[in-house]
Amino acid sequence: MHHHQPPEMKTCIDNCLACYRECLSTATNHCLEMGGKHTEPLHFRLMMACAEICRTSAHFMLIGSEPHRHVCRERAEICTQCTEL
């Protein structure tokens, strides 16, 4: 059985995966190389949490899990916090 995803969901999945790649890469490369405030626990953990919730949101949508709405709502909140760093 093939699960059909609306174009909007496909776009959301792509955006979540792009955010995952960007946050993980930024945290593990840029932040670690910059040091200082970029490696303070609060900052670094938030970057890692943002990466993981984006990956998890994409995963939930890809498998067609109905609770993806809850995960995506949390993702939006964490991503907002991350952009305010």
Alpha helices per DSSP H over 1-85: 7-25, 32-34, 41-62, 68-83
**pLDDT number for residue 75:** 94
Q: Single out the residue of 85, 84, 78 nearest to residue 16, CA to CA.
A: 78
Q: What is the pLDDT of residue 1?
A: 44
Q: Nearest to residue 56, comparing CAs of 83, 8, 19?
A: 19
Q: Residue ranges of the chain with pLDDT lower than 70?
A: 1-3
pTM of the entire predicted model: 0.87
- The residues, any chain, with a CB within 8 Å of residue 79's CB and separated by 6 or more, are 19, 50, 53, 54
Q: Rounded to an integer, what distance in angstroms lies between the CA atom of residue 40 and that of residue 45? A: 8
pLDDT tens-digit readout, 67-80: 899 999 999 999 99
The pLDDT assigned to 5 comes to 82
Helices 7-25/41-62 angle, 10° precision? 150
Query: Where in the chain are the domains?
Result: 7-83
